[in-house]
Amino acid sequence: MPERSVPPADARMDPADEELERLEIELLLEAVYRRYGFDFREYAPASLKRRLWRRMYAEGLETVTQLHDRLLHDPASMERLLLDLSINVTSMFRDPSFYMAFREHVVPTLHTYPFTRVWCAGCSTGEEVYSLAILLKEEGLYDRARIYATDINEQVLSAAREGVFPLERMKQYTQNYIRAGGKGEFSEYYVAAYEGARFSRSLTENVVFAQHNLASDRAFNEFNVIVCRNVLIYFDKTLQTRVHELFYESLDTFGVLALGHKESVAFTPYAEQYEVIQAAERIYKKIG
Ligand SMILES: C[S@@+](CC[C@H](N)C(=O)[O-])C[C@H]1O[C@@H](n2cnc3c(N)ncnc32)[C@H](O)[C@@H]1O
């Protein structure tokens, strides 16, 4: 394949070059899929391209084809790309209004169940999982709940298992916690240690962390609640539809799908199968 210099991000490309680059990216994604099983073939193209370029420059390379070659032969470079592509930004009690809505509109139903199975899909480094565990504890539900926390990326999952978060973020997290309707003292859930704020082991007693790829893995349980926030935005329409199918199949009847304000089931083939429980935070109940 011919080698070609990649222009700066803001440069306008010749249509023929653009076409060629699209082909290079397609081939790279196919190679990544076949070599490592990570399927990014249906990720939204613009942000994918930006991240591939960033990785290419960080590796000191000049073309997508060189990156393709590096990825095939150097698994460590794949790990680095995975971190770039999987955009792990997260925080505790992120969008506090989501947790407020969850307390108000989901918790009362969960009280009527003998046991609650929650799937937190795309959990990143775990801040969302610890937040949900705290919420369930404060609502008296944690002891009869299990949270399955999954992500495509093994590196973020091992951080999640550790449960140590930067001390300098605790001020913000405390404010989030209060705005999320927290009922206790946030500082009681962690101890300040040398390496950061170490969260209580009791918060992960009923948590199972596991690698799961929403793009290619199948359903693995029947859930009462699925929380998946700030993940689907990175997928194109086809992949979003596949993930909605997966969520639909994985939910019990009357199960809750909580997507957060950035995503929605509207305009998906599953729109009719859900009833809106809380519109702003896109919390739904499976009815169909
Ligand atoms: C922006 S974080 C969201 C974290 C958390 N849900 C939140 O809202 O704060 C997106 C996460 O989705 C994960 N992810 C991306 N593609 C995935 C896939 N195909 N399967 C599972 N997780 C994926 C990334 O690794 C990343 O940790």
| pLDDT at 37 (0 to 100) | 80
Q: What is the DSSP letter of 148?
A: E
Say if residue 213's pLDDT is above 80.
yes
Please report, for residues 16, 91, 156, 211, the alpha-carbon distance to residue 162 in angstroms, rounded to integers and kept in the order given: 48, 15, 10, 15
| pLDDT at 6 (0 to 100) | 45
| pLDDT at 11 (0 to 100) | 56
Look at the block and give the residue holding tokens 């420059």.
57
User: Which ligand 1 atom sits closest to the C-alpha of 216?
Assistant: 19
- Residue 67 has φ and ψ, to the nearest 5°, of -65, -40
CA distance 84 to 87: 6
The pTM is what? 0.85
Say if residue 3's pLDDT is above 60.
no
Residue 151 CB–ligand 1 contact under 6 Å: yes
Residue 230 has, within 13 A of its CA and on its CB side, a CA count of 12
| pLDDT at 2 (0 to 100) | 40
What would the mean pLDDT of 148-153 be, rounded to a whole number? 95
Query: Residue 251's closest CA among 271, 274, 276, 278?
Result: 274
Reading the block at residue 113, the tokens are 């169940």
Say if residue 5's pLDDT is above 90.
no
164-165 β-sheet, strand order: 164-165, 196-199, 190-193
What would the mean pLDDT of 273-283 be, rounded to a whole number? 97
- Residue 192 has φ and ψ, to the nearest 5°, of -80, 120
Residue 16 CB–ligand 1 contact under 6 Å: no
Q: Quote the mean pLDDT of the chain.
A: 92
Determine the Cα angle at 231 with ends 159 and 280, to 5°: 120
| pLDDT at 4 (0 to 100) | 43
Summary count for the chain: helices (H), strands (E): 10, 10
Quick: pLDDT tens for 225-275: 999 999 998 888 888 999 999 999 999 999 999 999 989 999 999 999 999
Query: Residue 149's closest CA among 182, 172, 127?
Result: 127
| 252 and 118 Cβ atoms separated by less than 8 Å | no
Residue 128 CB–ligand 1 contact under 6 Å: yes
What would the mean pLDDT of 129-157 be, rounded to a whole number? 96
Say if residue 9's pLDDT is above 70.
no
State the alpha helices, DSSP H only, in the chain: 15-36, 45-58, 64-73, 75-85, 96-105, 107-110, 127-138, 154-162, 170-179, 237-250
Q: Which residue has the higher pLDDT, 223 or 12?
A: 223
Residue 268 CB–ligand 1 contact under 6 Å: no
Quick: pLDDT tens for 27-65: 999 999 899 888 888 888 888 999 999 999 999 999 999
| pLDDT at 87 (0 to 100) | 81
Closest residue to atom 27 of ligand 1, CA basis: 124
Tell how far the Cα of 112 is from the centroid of ligand 1, in angstroms: 30
Lowest-confidence pick of 11-20, 67-76, 250-259 = 11-20
| pLDDT at 1 (0 to 100) | 39
Quick: pLDDT tens for 87-102: 888 999 999 999 999 9
SS3 92: coil
Quick: pLDDT tens for 116-125: 999 999 999 9
| 117 and 224 Cβ atoms separated by less than 8 Å | yes
Residue 87 CB–ligand 1 contact under 6 Å: yes
What would the mean pLDDT of 188-194 be, rounded to a whole number? 96
Quick: pLDDT tens for 124-137: 999 999 999 999 99
| 214 and 153 Cβ atoms separated by less than 8 Å | no
Tell how far the Cα of 168 is from the centroid of ligand 1, in angstroms: 23
Lowest-confidence pick of 21-25, 75-79, 82-86 = 82-86
Q: Which residue has the higher pLDDT, 75 or 142?
A: 142
Phi-psi region of 116 (alpha: psi -120 to 50; beta: other; left: phi over 0): beta
| pLDDT at 36 (0 to 100) | 83
Neighbours of 137 (CB within 10 A): 19
